[in-house]
Amino acid sequence: MIAQFPAPEDRAVVQTAVSMFLRTQKPSTRLRMLQVSRAILDRYGVSKMAVGEYTVQKAGPLATVVAKNMLPAGQRICPDCGTDIYKWPGDVRILGIREGFRRDLPTYGCRCGSVFKKSESSVLVNEGGDASAKQDGAS
Ligand SMILES: [Zn+2]
C-alpha cells in the first residue's frame, strides 16, 4: 500500500533542512534543503507536501518552498522578530518565488525561523527600497 500522507519523520527531515538553511544561510545548506525536499516528494510520488507553515513543491530538478502565511500589504518586517526584510546583508532570505500573472509571490525565510510570503510587483522591488530614481527623468 502506498502511504497517502508523508510520515512525521519525513516532514521533520524537511523542517530540519529548512531551519538549518535559515540559521546558516549558506549556499550549501540551501542546496541541501532543496535536495532533501525533492527526495522526499519523489519518495511519496507527490508534487507538493505541507510542512508546518509552508509547503514544499517540485520545481525543475529540485524543489521550492511556498509559505502559507501572507504578510499584509506594505509590511516589510518579519512578523515574528521585526527584522527588516530588505536589509542587506540581513537575516531574511528568499526561499522560493512563485510567479503570478501580475505579481510575484516570493516566499521569505527569516533567521528566526519564520517563513512567510509577500505579494509584490516586481517593478517596484529594488534593493534600496528607494523609488525616487523612477521619477528622475531630468538627469
Ligand atoms: Zn524573523
pLDDT digits (tens, 9 = 90+) for 83-104: 999 988 889 999 987 766 667 7
Q: Where are the chain's structural domains?
A: 8-130
Say how many Å lie between the CA of residue 22 and the centre of ligand 1: 10
pLDDT of 76 over the 50 cut = yes
pLDDT of 132 over the 70 cut = no
Cα–Cα distance between 125 and 130 in angstroms, integer? 9
Closest to 108 (Cα-Cα) out of 87, 121, 92, 88: 92
DSSP designation for 81: T
Question: In the chain, pLDDT over 70 holds for what percent of residues?
Answer: 81
Calculate the CA 13 to chain-centre distance. 17
Backbone angles phi, psi at 104, to 5 degrees: -85, 155
Say how many Å lie between the CA of residue 19 and the centre of ligand 1: 12
Say how many Å lie between the CA of residue 92 and the centre of ligand 1: 7
| Among the ranges given (65-69, 77-81, 117-121, 134-138), the one the predictor scored with the smallest mean pLDDT | 134-138
Give me the pLDDT at residue 101, please: 66
Cα–Cα distance between 81 and 113 in angstroms, integer? 9
Residue 67's pLDDT band, with cuts at 50, 70 and 90, is very high
Say how many Å lie between the CA of residue 137 and the centre of ligand 1: 37
CB of 65 within 8 A of CB of 115?
yes
Residue 121's pLDDT band, with cuts at 50, 70 and 90, is low
Residue 111's pLDDT band, with cuts at 50, 70 and 90, is very high
Say how many Å lie between the CA of residue 81 and the centre of ligand 1: 4
Say how many Å lie between the CA of residue 85 and the centre of ligand 1: 9
Say how many Å lie between the CA of residue 43 and the centre of ligand 1: 31
Note the pLDDT tens digit of each residue in 23-62: 999 999 999 999 999 999 999 999 999 998 999 999 999 9
Say how many Å lie between the CA of residue 39 and the centre of ligand 1: 28
Say how many Å lie between the CA of residue 16 and the centre of ligand 1: 17
Give me the pLDDT at residue 131, please: 41
